[in-house]
Structure 1
Amino acid sequence: MKPGLLMAQLLNRFIWFDGALQKSLDARGHGGVRRLESMTMIYVHAGIRRPSELARLLGVTRQSMNTALRELEEKGLVYLEPDPEDARCKLVSFAPEGAAMRADALEIVMALEAELEDRLGARAVGELGRLVSMDWGEPPVLRGKKAAEGKKKRA
């Protein structure tokens, strides 16, 4: 791979997954879920329930996250409830009305992973899962060419 393209390739593969999920949900009658909404649902499924944390992880403003959550609420997919630990905050929960769509989405994602195993092999998909699950640490702040060169020399 050409140096400097890893980020683009990771993004392309995410878009492959999300595009297949969106088209498959549409085909099953669950259309109209935007990328930010589907990404939000994935994080809620992973246990992230605070809107501020969802916004941080997804790299959007709190205002954008609140808009997405309102739209998901209107679609009957999530609801916001008071946070018992902080009365100023809300927590996101899955709405029972969205159970069929969530079940379909999980089935689709699992089928996409199986499709990847068919295309790339179980070993490659397992290795990919291992690599993206590793702790990469906090994102670094790189300041100029000399800082990068100094880190190479120390390594």
Structure 2
Amino acid sequence: LLRRARANQGEMAREVHPDLEPAAYGLLVRLEELGRQRATELAAYIGVGKATMSRQLRALEQLGLVAREPDPADGRAWLVALTEEGRTRVGRVREARRARYVSQLAHWDRGAVAELARLLHELNQGMAK
């Protein structure tokens, strides 16, 4: 499951942009879900250091997928946000992924799909601790 998830992340990253690193896809999804974030918050979420996060954000900026803006709460800090292009591309890829899952699970019993969703949710909750 985890190996397949890593492979899927790479595929989704390439669908967003051919030059996007697979690890950076998670940053884009996080920004889509939560909105503007400080680089330090993103680094903590992904589990990387400042230098790695800075390099990834620079690459995402060069691809036109994110932009930095001053943090109104702290003039020394910056917030990272998806650009309109980034939002459009990530949304398109996530919707295509959802459609693939719907298609792949269409022949499953509804109760089995509900049980799978419940168990995956439980697994995610347990791994977050």
Q: TM-score range by the shorter chain?
A: 0.7 to 0.9
Aligned-pair identity (%): 25
Asked if 1:73 is matched to 2:67, the reply is no
Asked if 1:60 is matched to 2:48, the reply is yes
Q: Classify 1:100/1:38 alpha carbon distance in 2 versus 1 (closer, same or farther; 3 Å).
A: same
Task: Tell me which amino acid in the other structure corresponds to 1:35.
Answer: P
Higher-Rg member (1/2): 1
Q: Quick check: 1:116–1:125 contact (8 Å CA) kept in 2?
A: no
Q: How many residues align?
A: 125
In the aligned structure 2, how far is the partner of 1:61 from the partner of 1:122? 38
In the aligned structure 2, how far is the partner of 1:136 from the partner of 1:37? 21
* Cα shift at 1:127: 2.1
TM-score (norm 2): 0.78
Deviates more, 1:107-116 or 1:66-75: 107-116
Q: Classify 1:108/1:132 alpha carbon distance in 2 versus 1 (closer, same or farther; 3 Å).
A: farther
Structure 1 unaligned runs (5+)? 1-8, 139-155
CA-atom RMSD, angstroms? 2.6
TM-score (norm 1): 0.67
In the aligned structure 2, how far is the partner of 1:112 from the partner of 1:20? 13
* Cα shift at 1:122: 1.6
Q: Aligned residue for 2:118?
A: 127
Q: Quick check: 1:17–1:112 contact (8 Å CA) kept in 2?
A: no
Q: Quick check: 2:13–2:24 contact (8 Å CA) kept in 1?
A: no
In the aligned structure 1, how far is the partner of 2:33 from the partner of 2:113? 23
Q: Aligned residue for 2:38?
A: 50
**Residues 1-155 of structure 1 correspond to what in structure 2 (within 5 A)?**
9=1, 11-22=2-13, 25=15, 30-47=17-34, 49-118=37-106, 121-134=112-125, 138=129
In the aligned structure 1, how far is the partner of 2:96 from the partner of 2:13? 10
